[in-house]
Chain A
Amino acid sequence: MLPAYFALGISIVLTVVSQTLQKKVADDFARAGAASALSFYFRRIAFWLAMAALGGAMLSWLFVLSAMEVSRAYSLLSINYVLMLLVSRFIFKETIPSNRWLGVLALLGGILLIVRS
């Protein structure tokens, strides 16, 4: 059971890292006003790191699914929604209106209801 939780932790961390890098590259592109998104992305190291992290997250997730109950795995994976709000707040300095926190709380409840049914 322990390796499964370890792999789940890796999967969550890599997902957060990948999303953070994707947001960074997307913001850089929006600010640069370059013509072609693809050629802009492909020249960024951050983009390739984001894709590598995404691939790693998928591989470790496949391992998690083979080693842990699916409902438990998906329930724990939804920690991502809270972590990404923290990334928005503290890394991207976004102001998070209270309705967003409440919205995320509601959809976390919905995900729990679905995956545990």
Chain B
Amino acid sequence: MSVAISASQTLPEYRKGLLCAIASVILVSIAQLAMKFGMAHVAIEALRALHSWSELSAALLQLPLSTAVLPVAAGMLCYGVSVFCWMAALGRLPLNLAYPLLSLSYPLVYLGAALLPFFNEALNAQRLGGIGLIMFGVILLMLKTKS
């Protein structure tokens, strides 16, 4: 599959841009899954019932470290790093190509949620169709055009 290159861009920069964009999307998807995993171990209802900062901080300190705090913190870290990958991509790609690539996080998150043991989400025909349509859209985006 060939890709579109405008006159102002050199091929290595363009490829680097695509790699940075894909790295950013993968980081965002890992962040989503990690935060979902972590938040599932936080008793939201218990947090909602709290009325003061001291009660809240006491409750937060009691959260299980390995299953709640670390995954959420790791997810936030991934988000933070993804911003810098993303800006490295934006400097090398036209915005009208870079931005739609973010939609790749939908297939990644859904496949992750279906394949990883903890999430155990079902992949039905409609979801697979949606994933296929997004992949088709991304291939269309990257097709070489004469413009």
Q: Could you tell me which B residues sit within 8 Å of A by CB distance? A: 4, 83-84, 86-92, 94-97, 99-100, 103, 106, 110, 124, 126-127, 129-143, 145, 147
Contacts and interface: CB of A to CB of B under 8 A. Distances in A.
Contacts, number: 126
Interface string A73-117: 000000001001101110010111111101111111111111011
B99 A22 contact: no
B130 A27 contact: no
Nearest to A66: B44
Interface residues of A, number: 42
Given A111-B103, A117-B127, A96 B96 contact: yes
- Chain B binding surface, main DSSP class: helix
Given A85-B96, A104-B137, A27 B103 contact: no
Given A37-B84, A98-B145, A111-B103, 15 more contacts: A26-B91, A27-B90, A30-B91, A30-B92, A88-B94, A102-B137, A103-B141, A107-B103, A108-B137, A110-B129, A110-B132, A110-B136, A113-B127, A114-B134, A117-B124
Interface of A: 19, 22-23, 25-27, 29-30, 37-38, 41, 51, 54, 81, 84-85, 87-89, 92, 94-100, 102-114, 116-117
